[in-house]
């Protein structure tokens, strides 16, 4: 599809010349994102790293401009998809008839209230940007596990929110205060104390009256399916140690002056039962800055900055059930107390800290831990990874899910579809020192290999269904119409209420609902557009990847509409095999 030039001009009048672009090179670039090929395949589409191509990309700079863009989308029946820092397929349009709203010009820290411990930020402010500013007041902010380069506004209002520092900084959903929200019809809603008529301010996210936090973001957010968030206030926390930073060297091998009062513990807990005991004890004492369970392979990656250094730490990979704990303090007295408590726990549970005895981390590890930058190391071994599933519940249920998932993953390792981490790939932590727990199953795969993509996709689907067959509660990643309609009947038909919310807040279906839920009404035109999109995409792939030869196969998946199934021939691609002669 092509955006009508008259409509383009109307959008341009809102944001100014140069802040909207429908050039083919630009919109094709915005169609690319990490792990898109995996989500495409799960959605019965071509396993390529491109989403639907947006009609145009538009860059507003104010809430007023966002509001006018949304109203213009309603006028012309064009959908919008908003993104801030834009990591992952959750930021991509799901239809051709869509404008991508890139919020990168909205990059201001509006307010830091160091006395009342909150900050107000716009959409494109990154975790790193906010953290370095609040550090000037001896404070810290919660940064999601995706890393310091992503938007706290996105994780707090629209996405998931666990992070490596969750034991001490909680979960994004718990840290939301006042919110400014442009609804799908163009109205502006201000939640919490910022919506008060008299003396509005950002200090509270709820009331007076019923809270809309559940509708606003639910468990893992609507991902632009219910509008665009332009400002949010989030909680701040005391920084765990000295804020003095002295970094030298060149990327990625920086050197760092380790603060005086920080220490890392790595121990092998031997079994999940003992692991649970250790985490609960550490949480009960409230002494940890970070308390995370990793697989043995993951432990080697968080201490490595390249493949060479990774291979030099193979011995760390032999840990059966590792736990990484970091304690930090602002004073010597506090630090000594935390050390004594930690040593007592190790003695009680007969565990040994291998740090400084069998292994000494590079100083830069401490800087990356303080900056919540450990998750990016997951790309190191295979080039791409994705969590196949996860749980957020009691610690016991989380580890039960991990054990069951390990057995499932080994089947795909045996097939050669995913990287061999012995099935142990898991990341687990707690929120707020053990009051709630989280685990997910990071899995490395080859995003350039169709067989690996297909295997990973099948593993993801079976991981989610495992929650039903093994009574493991709701999967962490339930998003999009397909998944909501599958799990809804098993969970009190919540999907029906979710759809009612969508219809009430977005009667014209203007907010892209690819990762939320579609409206109830489905028409023949909707189906034809989807079919046309899929055929166009397969055609696009055949032109784009010339070194692959097409092989016609009957695609076993079906698309259902108006009471019947439509089967069609699609193309899959295999690399040409060179002759052995």
Tens digits of residue pLDDT in 65-114: 999 999 999 999 999 999 999 999 999 999 999 999 999 999 999 999 99
What is the C-alpha to C-alpha distance for residues 406 and 556, in angstroms, rounded to an integer? 28
Residues 6+ apart with CB under 8 A from 308: none
pLDDT of residue 393: 92
pLDDT of residue 250: 87
Instruction: List phi, psi (to 5°) of 417.
Output: -85, -30
H/E run at residue 57? strand 56-58
What is the C-alpha to C-alpha distance for residues 386 and 86, in angstroms, rounded to an integer? 16
H/E run at residue 390? strand 385-393
pLDDT of residue 381: 66
pLDDT of residue 573: 36
Distance of CA 526 to the CA centre of its chain: 29
Residues 6+ apart with CB under 8 A from 18: none
Annotate 490-515 with b (16+ C-beta within 10 A) or e (fewer). eeeebbeebbebbeebbeebbbbbbb
Tell me the three state secondary structure of residue 110. strand
pLDDT tens-digit profile of 200-256? 999 999 877 778 989 999 888 999 999 999 999 999 999 999 999 889 998 878 899
Instruction: List phi, psi (to 5°) of 140.
Output: -140, 160
What the chain holds in terms of domains, given with CATH numbers, is 5-102 (3.30.43.10), 109-238 (3.30.465.10), 247-376 (3.30.70), 382-477 (3.30.70), 524-581 (no CATH)
pLDDT of residue 565: 31
pLDDT of residue 95: 94
Phi-psi region of 167 (alpha: psi -120 to 50; beta: other; left: phi over 0): alpha
Residues of the chain with pLDDT under 70: 378, 380-382, 521-581
pLDDT of residue 539: 57
pLDDT of residue 530: 59
């Amino acid at each position: 599809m092509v955006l009508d030039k008259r409509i383009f001009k109307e959008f341009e009048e809102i944001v100014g010349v140069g802040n909207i672009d429908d050039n083919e090179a630009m919109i094709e670039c915005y169609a690319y994102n990490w792990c898109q090929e995996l989500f495409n395949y799960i959605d019965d589409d071509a396993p390529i790293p491109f989403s639907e191509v947006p009609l145009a990309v538009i860059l507003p700079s104010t809430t007023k401009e966002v509001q006018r863009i949304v109203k213009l989308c309603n006028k012309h029946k064009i959908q919008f998809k908003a993104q801030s820092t834009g990591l992952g397929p959750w930021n991509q349009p799901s239809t051709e008839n869509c404008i991508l709203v890139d919020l990168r010009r909205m990059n201001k820290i509006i307010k830091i209230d160091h006395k009342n411990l909150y900050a107000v930020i716009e959409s494109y402010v990154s975790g790193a940007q906010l953290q370095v500013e609040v550090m000037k007041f001896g404070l810290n902010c919660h940064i999601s596990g995706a890393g310091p380069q992503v938007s706290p506004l996105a994780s707090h209002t629209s996405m998931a929110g666990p992070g490596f520092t969750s034991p001490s900084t909680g979960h994004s959903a718990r840290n939301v205060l006042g919110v400014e929200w442009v609804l799908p019809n163009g109205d502006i809603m201000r939640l919490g104390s910022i919506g008060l008529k008299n003396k509005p301010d950002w200090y509270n996210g709820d009331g007076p009256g019923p809270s809309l936090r559940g509708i606003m973001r639910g468990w893992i957010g609507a991902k632009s399916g219910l509008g665009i968030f332009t400002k949010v206030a989030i909680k701040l926390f005391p920084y765990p140690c000295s804020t003095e930073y002295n970094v030298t060297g060149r990327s990625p091998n920086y050197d760092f002056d380790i603060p005086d009062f920080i220490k890392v513990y790595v121990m092998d807990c031997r079994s999940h039962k003992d692991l649970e005991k250790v985490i609960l004890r550490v949480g009960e004492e409230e002494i940890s800055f970070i308390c995370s369970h990793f697989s043995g392979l993951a432990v080697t990656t968080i201490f490595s900055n390249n493949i060479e250094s990774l291979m030099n730490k193979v011995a760390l990979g032999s840990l059966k059930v590792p736990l990484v704990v970091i304690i930090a303090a602002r004073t010597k007295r506090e630090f000594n107390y935390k050390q004594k408590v930690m040593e007592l726990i190790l003695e009680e549970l007969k565990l040994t800290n291998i740090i400084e005895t069998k292994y000494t981390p590079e100083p830069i590890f401490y800087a990356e831990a303080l900056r919540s930058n450990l998750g990016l190391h997951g790309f190191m071994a295979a080039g791409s990874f994705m969590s196949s599933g996860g749980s957020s519940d009691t610690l016991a249920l989380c580890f039960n899910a991990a054990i069951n998932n390990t057995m499932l993953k080994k089947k795909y390792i045996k097939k050669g579809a995913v990287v061999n981490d012995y099935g142990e790939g898991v990341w687990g932590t707690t929120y707020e020192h053990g009051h709630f727990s989280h685990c997910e199953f990071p899995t490395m795969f080859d995003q350039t290999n169709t067989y690996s993509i297909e295997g990973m996709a099948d593993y993801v689907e079976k991981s989610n269904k495992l929650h039903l067959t093994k009574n493991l509660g709701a999967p962490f990643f339930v998003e999009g119409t397909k998944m909501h309609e599958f799990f809804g009947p098993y969970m009190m038909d919540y999907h029906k209420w979710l759809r009612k919310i969508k219809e009430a807040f977005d009667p014209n279906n203007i907010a892209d609902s690819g990762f939320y839920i579609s409206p109830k009404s489905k028409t023949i035109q909707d189906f034809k557009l989807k079919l046309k999109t899929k055929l166009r995409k397969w055609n696009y792939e055949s032109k784009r990847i010339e070194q692959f030869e097409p092989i016609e196969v009957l695609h076993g998946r079906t698309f259902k509409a108006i009471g019947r199934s439509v089967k069609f021939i699609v193309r899959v691609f295999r690399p040409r095999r060179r002759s052995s002669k």
